[in-house]
Amino acid sequence: MALDPRWRREGRRLQLLAGIAIVGLVAALTHLSAILLIPRVATQDAYNVLAAKSPPNTLIVLPPSRPGDKAVPYRDPATIQALCFFDVGKAPIRVRTHVEEGKLLTLSFRTPQGRVFYSMTDRAALKDVIDIRLVTSAQLNAIEDAETDVEQGLPSELRLKVPSQRGLLVATTLVERPSEREAAEARIRAITCAPEPLPPRS
Per-residue pLDDT of the chain (202 residues; tens, 9 = 90+): 555 556 566 666 667 666 666 656 656 555 555 455 555 545 556 677 777 778 899 999 988 766 666 556 657 788 899 999 999 999 999 999 999 988 999 999 999 988 999 999 999 999 899 999 999 999 999 988 887 655 555 667 899 999 999 999 999 999 888 899 999 999 999 999 999 998 876 5
pLDDT value of position 4: 59
Three-state SS sequence of the chain: CCCCHHHHHHHHHHHHHHHHHHHHHHHHHHHHHHHHHHHHHCCCCHHHHHHHCCCCCCEEECCCCCCCCCCCCCCCCCEEEEEEEEECCCCCEEEEEECCCCCCEEEEEECCCCCEEEEEEHHHCECCEEEEEEECHHHHHHHHHHHHHHCCCCCCCEEEECCCCEEEEEEEEECCCHHHHHHHHHHHHCCEEEECCCCCCC
